[in-house]
Structures are given as structure tokens and as C-alpha cells.
Amino acid sequence: MKEMLKADQITFRYAETGRPAVDGLSLTVRRGEYVAVLGANGCGKSTLAKHFNAILLPETGTVTVEGMSTADEDRLFDIRQKVGMVFQNPDNQIVATVVEEDVAFALENLGVPPDEMRRRVDEAMRMAGVYNYREKAPHKLSGGQKQRVAIAGVVAMRPDCLVLDEATAMLDPIGREKVMRTVHRLNREYGITVVQITHYMEEAAAADRVVVMSEGKIALEGTPTEVFRQVDRLRALRLDVPQAAELCHALTQAGCPMPDGVIDVEGCAAALYRLLTGRDAPDAENAKEVAACPQP
Amino acid sequence: MLRDITIGQHFPGNSLLHRMDPRVKLVLTVAYIVMLFVGSNPAGLAISIVFLTALYLTAKIPLKMVARSVKPILPIILFTAVLNLFFMTGTSEPLLAWWIFKIYREGVYYAIVMAVRIICLIAGTSLLTYTTSPIVLTDAIEQLLKPLARLHLPVHELAMMMTIALRFIPTLIEETDKIMNAQKARGAQLDSGKLSQRVRALIPVLIPLFISAFRRADELAMAMECRCYHGGEGRTRLKQLRLHASDIVLAAAAALVFAAIGMSNLFFERIG
Ligand SMILES: Nc1ncnc2c1ncn2[C@@H]1O[C@H](COP(=O)(O)OP(=O)(O)O)[C@@H](O)[C@H]1O
Ligand SMILES: [Mg+2]
């Protein structure tokens, strides 16, 4: 089965009368894919995320996880085990007073025998890079470390998909970088599908696919290059673009012949090098160097 | 300053007592409390003091910690001692008589025995919390009370509440600190002024704290649901409590001491 998550024409309202938080939205996420979801505050990203593991059920339409409908109560724990959720505030998702016991929490709930649990907990802590803090108290860890403990707690369930709802929003740059590296490694090495809601354009630029939401609907969708070249469209949706894309856009508008679809620093540096020297940047390594030093 | 508060004064260590099965420790502590009342006579109390001192030495916990744990309830000890001193009537001549107060030999005797008994009680229960982390203690309570779950007592839920409370106390303390600083930055006078003013100044600290605690509870509940939490049914534990041979030896030794305390009643009259 290639489809990991599938939302089909779903609508959801918090209050009977209010306007829908998610409005006739359809989205399919393939197995192993890394999807970033962008959108202004209050556009329904979290509401959508909560549909993927049956925390919320759609008013109309259906959500399926590997073919299982989230409305099927008998499969509730199968679904929650397959789709792990990580939230914004690491403090509010850690239950136990010792790291390894928190990582074991889901397995304890699922009734996994202690010997097997020990193995899976150790494995999950290594995968999330928190093995060295396994006996520490969570409140003694930094934000980034806590968030990776939360990820380990979800990974211990051996999920096929991770849904991260602004999981890096409260972290300092170093913590964010480490969490992102962990998530990308889980995606690449273990084939875990990732749906990441974020406000950081640099994070979205590293995804396979970007989905931009607005007022409960999908406004834009495509590869990061396809999405971020539409600078004006994104601005209208009250979103930023990655700084490199913004620079290229500004240069193009000022009449500089910049190539289309540059969204990262390396690509931008290479394009500028070509523009200024008339030669191709020798290699990617060099382009990074060029990016690092300001041109006279 | 709030950060310095520690809960359930636990002294991490690796002594025989620290490594003992928490269930056994808990049962022995309860038995010890019972024996303090059963063997409430000078000989019984003397045996318990020796026993307790030996345990403190084994656990490598400084004896001055006993003084620290007794300190908060010193007023109660003094109060009961004074009551015994003045209201105990004896058969012999009063030792001291002044106005309507008469102090008898029995009064002095009672006052001393009762005070020692309370001190032993505190020192004994403190030893349990000194050598057992609160979370391990919670596990032990849950395991010991498990049979009561069949009577529909919410044993697992209570243990879960304890765990979550222990987990969030440091978080909430930190948050209180932050809110207090934020309010001080706005000119709130939290540590000066009259008592009534200070109490009133706490309201703008407590309200944000409560709101935040409810939000946290909401998010935590959702995160627990996402990790398949559905109550205590069919739950397994990562850390299994195991009874070791040393636990049985220690329990047997304690049982002998308790028997001796009980026997002391044969030779001395029980008090209180
Ligand atoms: N628990 C709730 N009760 C009522 N309305 C809510 C609730 N949660 C979110 N909403 C509303 O639903 C809309 C979408 O919210 P949300 O999915 O949290 O957006 P996002 O995560 O994109 O910021 C917002 O208008 C928000 O006010
Ligand atoms: Mg949100």
C-alpha cells in the first residue's frame, strides 16, 4: 500500500455554528514521504493534524491511515500506534519523572511484555539520540533534549508516520537543528513518513513536498521549489519565504537575470557567483564558502 | 528561591536500605508504626531507638537529619508533652504543686514516653522517604494496593495522579518563579508590605498559574491519548519490582525486632 494518510473531503467545526476549521480538504501522504504544512495562525493546521490519529473525527468526509478509517473504533489503538504525534510544548507531553520511563509510557499502555519493552525503549532512545540521558529527570533537560525525548516516546511505538505540530516552535536554534536532524534521519534511514507543521520556511524547504493551508483549505501544494517561487502568492497568504528565495525574488524584480526556483542558500550563492564572475561555481563546497564570505 | 524547594526529601544512595524492595520497606514502616503503639513502654521504645539508629547508620544518612525532620512538628510534641505533664493525675504525692497545677511522677513519665514515641514515628517514616524516591514509592503503593482495584477503588488512577503531580511540580515551580518575576517587573510588591497586601499581591500570580496549569493538563491529556493511554487495564511496566534474598533477610530481622518490642509489654506497663 503506497498511501500512508488520506484525508478525503474532510470538514470539521469546533462549534456547531462556527465556520469550519477544516473545510472540504483532501490530502494524500505517500509512504516514506516528508511533507511540510505551512499556513498562517488559525488556518486549521493543528485541527488537520489531530484528524490523522483519530483525536478528532471529521464531520463529513473520511480520514484513512493505511486504509483503516479513523472512525473505526476497533482500530483506534492500531491507528494511534501507526501515527505518532509530537506537539509544540515538550513539557506538556512528558508524563514520567525519568526519561526512560517516559519513553516506555506508550508501550506500557499497549501492554508490551517488560523484556521486549526494555529492548524497544533502548532502541527508540538511541534512534532519537537521548540514550545518554535515559536516567535523568525531564525537567533537568534543555528544550531540544526534551523534545527528542518526546519523539523517542512516540518512536518506541514503532510508528509508520510521525506528525509534528510545530514541534520546533519553542526551541532555541541549536535544539531546533538537532530535532530536525533527528526527524530527517528517522525519515531517511527508517522510512518513517513525516508530516511536519512548521513556521520555519527553512525547515519546509528541506521537505519533499510543501502544503500551504489557508482558512481550512489547501491554497498551494508542490515541491518546495514550486511553492517558494510564488513569492507574491505566499505574501498574500501572510507567509514568509526562505531568505534566499526572497533575495532572488528581489533581484529578479530589480532586473538582475537570476535563475528561477532558487530556494536555499547554496543555490542562491551559486547563482550569484555565476552572475558576478560569469563562471559556474566550481563545486558545492566552494559555493558554501562563497556564501560564507561577503563579496566586496 | 522557589527552585530550592525539594519534595519528599529523598537522599539518593546505594546502601542496603536504598536498594531494598520499596514494597517491603513500606510494609515494614507501617508495621513499625503499629509496633510503636503496641510496645509503648520504656523498653519497647528503647529497642526501637536502637533499631532505628542502626538503620540510619546502614543507610548512611546523617543522624542530624532526624532533628531536621522533627523540627516542624516540635510544637505538637511540646504541646502533647505539656498536656500530659499537667493533666496526668497520679496516686502518689505531686512532685510540684502551684496554684491549680499539680505535676505527678506519672505525668513526667507519660510526657517523656509520648514525646519519644512521636519522635520515633517521624524518624521512622522519614527514613522511608529518605531512602526511597517518591516515584518508586508511588509504584510500591500501586502494587500493594492492587488487590483493592477489584473493589473498584481507582488505585491505578491515584498512582497516575501522583506520578503526574511529581513530574509537574518542578515545572510549575519554575513557572511560578517566572510569573512572579514578570509581575515584579510590572511593579508588584510581592515580598514587602502588610500581610493582607502581600496576599492580595499573590492573586495576579495565582491566576496566570492556574490558567496555565489547566492548559498544560489539557495538552498532557491529549499527548497521553496519542500514546494509547486508556487507564490501568492491561498495562505492563518497564520497571518490575523484584523481591531479592536480601529483602527477605532484612524483613526477617525486622520481624524479630518487632517481636521483641511486642514482648516488652510483658515486663512493662503499656502507655498511651
Ligand atoms: N479547542 C477549540 N475550540 C474552539 N475553536 C478552536 C479550538 N481549537 C482551534 N479552534 C479554532 O479553529 C481554527 C483553527 O485552529 P488550529 O487548527 O489550531 O489552527 P493552526 O494550528 O493552524 O494555528 C482557529 O480559528 C481556532 O480559533
Ligand atoms: Mg496550531
CA angle A219, A224, A227 (to 5 degrees): 35
Same domain, B12 and B112: yes
Q: How confident is the model at residue B201 (pLDDT cuts 50, 70, 90)?
A: confident
Greater model confidence, A206 or B94: A206
Same domain, B115 and B89: yes
- Contact status of A27 with chain B (Cβ, < 8 Å): no
Same domain, B77 and B105: yes
Same domain, B211 and B168: yes
CB–CB contacts below 8 A, A to B: 94
Q: Give domain limits for chain A.
A: 3-228, 243-292
Q: What is the position in ligand 1's atom list of the atom closest to the CA of A41?
A: 23
Residue A292, pLDDT score: 59
For the stretch B165-193, pLDDT in tens is 988 988 999 999 999 999 989 888 877 77
Flag whether B137 is in a domain: no
CA A79 – CA B225 distance, rounded (Å): 12
Given an 8 Å threshold on Cβ–Cβ distance, is A110 in contact with B171?
A: no
Q: Using CA coordinates, name the residue in chain B closest to A159.
A: B227
Residues in the ligand 1 pocket, defined by CB under 6 Å: A 14, 21, 39, 41-47
CA B192 – CA B208 distance, rounded (Å): 21
Q: Using CA coordinates, name the residue in chain A closest to B219.
A: A92
Flag whether B150 is in a domain: no
Residue B4, pLDDT score: 44
Average per-residue pLDDT for chain B:
87
Checking if the pLDDT of B8 tops 80, the result is no
Same domain, B56 and B110: yes
A133-146 average pLDDT score: 92
Q: Are A242 and A76 in contact (CB under 8 A)?
A: no
User: Could you tell me the distance, in angstroms and rounded to a whole number, from the CA of residue A110 to the centre of ligand 2?
Assistant: 28
For the stretch B90-121, pLDDT in tens is 777 777 777 777 777 888 888 888 899 999 99
Flag whether B93 is in a domain: yes
Q: Identify the nearest ligand to the CA of A41 by its number.
A: 1
**CA dihedral sign of residues B64, B65, B68, B73:** negative
Helix (H, G, I), strand (E, B) or coil at B255: helix
Flag whether B139 is in a domain: no
Which residue's CA is the nearest one to ligand 1's atom 4?
A14
Q: How confident is the model at residue A149 (pLDDT cuts 50, 70, 90)?
A: very high
Same domain, B99 and B198: no
Same domain, B65 and B163: no
Can you give the pTM of this predicted structure?
0.82
Q: How confident is the model at residue B1 (pLDDT cuts 50, 70, 90)?
A: very low
Nearest to B228 among A80, A94, A121 (CB): A80
**ipTM summary value:** 0.85
Q: How confident is the model at residue B224 (pLDDT cuts 50, 70, 90)?
A: very high
Given an 8 Å threshold on Cβ–Cβ distance, is B235 in contact with A53?
A: no
| Contact residues on chain A for B164, CB-CB shorter than 8 A | 95
Which residue's CA is the nearest one to ligand 1's atom 26?
A42
User: Could you tell me the distance, in angstroms and rounded to a whole number, from the CA of residue A166 to the centre of ligand 2?
Assistant: 7
Q: Which three cell numbers stand for residue A272?
A: 550569484
Half-sphere exposure of A123 (CA within 13 A, CB side): 14
What is chain A written as a DSSP string?
A: --EEEEEEEEEE-SSSSS--SEEEEEEEEETT-EEEEEE-TTSSHHHHHHHTTTSS--SEEEEEETTEETT-GGGHHHHHHHEEEE-S-GGGG--SSSHHHHHHHHHHHHT--HHHHHHHHHHHHHHTT-GGGTTS-GGGS-HHHHHHHHHHHHHTT--SEEEEESTTTTS-HHHHHHHHHHHHHHHHHH--EEEEE-S-HHHHHTSSEEEEEETTEEEEEE-HHHHHT-HHHHHHTT----HHHHHHHHHHHTT--PPS---SHHHHHHHHHHHHHSS--S-HHHHHHHHHSPP-
Q: Are A121 and A45 in contact (CB under 8 A)?
A: no
For the stretch B17-76, pLDDT in tens is 999 999 999 999 999 999 988 888 888 899 999 999 999 999 998 888 888 888 888 898
Q: Are A31 and A3 in contact (CB under 8 A)?
A: yes
Residue B194, pLDDT score: 84
Q: What is the position in ligand 1's atom list of the atom closest to the CA of A19?
A: 25
Same domain, B108 and B180: no
CA B242 – CA B249 distance, rounded (Å): 14
Q: Which three cell numbers stand for residue A249?
A: 525574488
A205-225 average pLDDT score: 94
A112-135 average pLDDT score: 94
Flag whether B147 is in a domain: no
Helix (H, G, I), strand (E, B) or coil at B9: coil
Closest by CA to B121, choosing from B56, B59, B33, is B33
Closest by CA to B146, choosing from B156, B157, B136, is B156
Q: Are B7 and B52 in contact (CB under 8 A)?
A: no
H helix runs in B59-154, sequence order: 64-70, 74-87, 105-131, 134-149
Flag whether B55 is in a domain: yes
- Contact status of B229 with chain A (Cβ, < 8 Å): yes
Minimal CA separation from B233 to chain A, in Å: 8
The total domain count for chain B is 2
Per the structure, the complete domain to which residue B251 belongs is given by 1-132+242-272
- Contact status of B214 with chain A (Cβ, < 8 Å): no
For the stretch A12-29, pLDDT in tens is 999 877 889 999 999 999
- Contact status of B222 with chain A (Cβ, < 8 Å): yes
Q: How confident is the model at residue B272 (pLDDT cuts 50, 70, 90)?
A: low
Given an 8 Å threshold on Cβ–Cβ distance, is A95 in contact with B167?
A: yes
| Contact residues on chain A for B166, CB-CB shorter than 8 A | 97
pLDDT > 70 fraction of chain B, expressed in percent and rounded: 96
| Contact residues on chain A for B235, CB-CB shorter than 8 A | 108-109, 111
Domain A3-228, CATH among 1.20.810.10, 3.40.50.2300, 3.40.630.30, 3.40.50.300 = 3.40.50.300
Checking if the pLDDT of B5 tops 50, the result is no
Q: Identify the nearest ligand to the CA of A167 by its number.
A: 2
CA A233 – CA A196 distance, rounded (Å): 21
Flag whether B202 is in a domain: yes
User: Could you tell me the distance, in angstroms and rounded to a whole number, from the CA of residue A50 to the centre of ligand 1?
Assistant: 11
Checking if the pLDDT of B3 tops 50, the result is no
Checking if the pLDDT of A69 tops 50, the result is yes
For the stretch A262-275, pLDDT in tens is 888 888 888 888 88
Same domain, B10 and B96: yes
For chain B, helix, strand, coil in percent to 5 are 70, 0, 25
Q: How confident is the model at residue A283 (pLDDT cuts 50, 70, 90)?
A: low
Same domain, B233 and B251: no
Residue A1, pLDDT score: 58
Q: Which three cell numbers stand for residue A161?
A: 508516520
Across A81-85, B91-95, B147-151, B258-262, which has the greatest mean pLDDT? A81-85
Residue B6, pLDDT score: 45
Checking if the pLDDT of B265 tops 50, the result is yes
Residue A287, pLDDT score: 55
